[in-house]
Structure formats: C-alpha cells, structure tokens
Amino acid sequence: MSEPHADADSTQDHSARLPGGGADGARKGGEAAVREEYILTLSCPDKKGIVHAVSSYLFMTGCNIEDSQQFGDRDTGLFFMRVHFSADPGVTVEKLRASFSAVGDSFQMDWQVHPAAERMRVVLMVSRFGHCLNDLLFRSRSGALPVDIAAVVSNHTDFEGLAASYGVPFHHIPVAKGSEESKQEGEAALLRLIEEENVELVVLARYMQVLSDNLCKQLPGRIINIHHSFLPSFKGARPYHQAHDRGVKLIGATAHYVTAELDEGPIIEQEVERVGHEASPQQLVAVGRDVECQALARAVKWHSEHRVLLNGHRTVVFA
C-alpha cells in the first residue's frame, strides 16, 4: 500500500519556493503576491512511493499543500489521490501539466490539474418536472454551486421563462415520440451546443428521455442523472404512488453517472428520508423531490470541485 497520509501533510510547512520568493511567498512593493490555487487528481496502480513522489514534486516546484486526501483500494489494487495546493506567481497550470507528466508516466497515472477557482461549464437538461432545475439555478446564482450554467436544454418549453429569469439561454430540442431520427437529430444538436459552449458537464435534472448508447460513450463521466433508486421495485410511471400503496418507510434518490446501461452508472451520492404510514402519495412526492434536489446538488458540486474519481463501476468521492 502507499505511504500514510502524513507523508503528504509533512510538506505543508516546509514547501520550497521559486527563485526570488521568500518563505512567506513572493513580494512586490512590500505586498505579498497572490498565490494561485490548484487541484491535482490522480489514480494509478497502487505501489510504494506515490505520495512521496507527488509531495516531492510539489516541494520542488514551489508549491504548498493546502489539503490532501488519498485512498488505496485493496480490491482493485488502485490508488486515488486529490491534492489542493497553492503555488507562487509564475507557476501556471500549463507549466504544472507539462512538468508533472514525468511523475505521472512513472506511475502510470491517470491525472489532471485544474485551477481551483475555475468554474465548470454546465448544461442542465429537463423535461416537465422543474424542482431540480430550479434548485440548481438558484444554487449557482447564490454561489453555493461553483459552476457556470451555459444553457438549459429541454424537449418541452415549460421552463423557458424560468431559465430567462436567471439569465440563462434556453434551447428547445424536441424529440418526437417513437422517432429514432428525431432522437438522433436532437442529440446531434446537443453535441453541437456542448462543443460551441465548451461544456464540461451535462446534468439530467429530471430529463425523461433515454440517451442513446452513442451519446453516453461520447461523454463518459460527463453526464450526471438523478434517479429515485431507493424505489427499485417500482418501475414506470407514478413510482411514489406505487411506494405509497406498498407502505414504504424510506424515500430516497441517487445521483449517478450515465452509462449505456440504463440507471446502472457509477453512484456519486445518495439521500434518504424516513416517512411514516400517515404520509399521502402527495406528501411522498414532496419528500421525493426534496431528496432528489439534495442528492443531485451535492453530486454536481463534488464533480465540479474534482472530488469524484471513477473506480470501475464505482466512485471514490473525496467529500
């Protein structure tokens, strides 16, 4: 297994600086220069020396570790790590990506470096249930969700006004029922929008169309869906009414990545709420909407902060 967490933390108070920088950071005109912050995520086969190599690299490039999390999966033999670090002025993300490649190659890492302040560009997709859409729009505007919503996409026009009230462009992409041609045209339009707007994440905020295998394969790990998966026995329409008929005691929701296998993608977050025998179908619907909003918002937030790493059919979430 890789070294204990303390190896990464041990660099925090002893980080080197680039030439010209003092122990408290480079100064100009008597004022401390602003240090940029970055997020490094990686996964690789687990072996000795990974934490030491990463922390030594950061030390030698004048960086300071602000926070570090790691996990070694004994079942898969894989190691996962997320490091939040700061760097002196002059250390750009391009330089970091170029110089870290040697470390990454030596451990066969799948790795990424992102500016911590960079807001992920997101498209929200919705059909005719707007609770998750409204929740994500509000969280983004209030600053609770660190994303830029590039557009709202829907196969209906119900929420065009809601999108406009938040100043977000609305795109109506209709899908004719039972028409494969219409579905293909709609997905082609969606892909064009994603490319034109430099979108990094697509969120299915109660979007009720099944995405094609082709689209799922083109956007692996970039589509998040919300699903009432704590009701696995209740298929089809009106699942909460079916749950009421069966007298369920828990209402839940699951946020997961979308794959070609319907509702089988890696789980990011789950939320559950206990309900009593006195709850009506309408009350179950209300509870269900609330837990759907909570689970989806957390999943989008963690993904946008680069806290979620894929581990086969599962995820590692450094929340």
Angle, helices 239-246 vs 281-304, to 10°: value is: 120
Closest by Cα among 99, 114, 87 to 53: 99
Topology classification of domain 6-115: Alpha-Beta Plaits (3.30.70)
Identify the helix (H) or strand (E) that includes residue 131: helix 131-142
pTM given for the model = 0.86
- 50 dihedral zone (left: phi>0; alpha: psi -120 to 50; beta): alpha
Location of structure tokens 């319907």: 262
Please, are residues 85 and 65 in contact by the beta-carbon 8 Å criterion? yes
Which CATH number does the domain 120-317 belong to among 3.40.630.40, 3.90.550.10, 3.30.750.24, 3.40.50.170?
A: 3.40.50.170
One digit per residue, pLDDT tens: the chain, 319 residues? Answer: 444 444 434 333 333 333 333 444 444 455 567 899 999 999 999 999 999 999 999 999 999 999 999 999 999 999 999 999 999 988 999 999 999 999 999 999 999 999 999 999 999 999 999 999 999 999 999 999 999 999 999 999 999 999 999 999 999 999 999 899 999 999 999 999 999 999 999 999 999 999 999 999 999 999 999 987 654 456 667 877 887 787 888 888 999 999 998 888 999 999 999 999 998 989 999 999 999 999 999 999 999 999 999 999 999 999 9
Q: Where are the domains of the chain?
A: 6-115, 120-317
| Residue 263 among the catalytic residues | yes
**Structure tokens belonging to residue 83:** 């490091």
- Do 6-115 and 120-317 come out as alike in CATH topology? no
Catalytic residue among 73, 148, 158, 263: 263
C-alpha 244/C-alpha 283 separation (Å) is 10
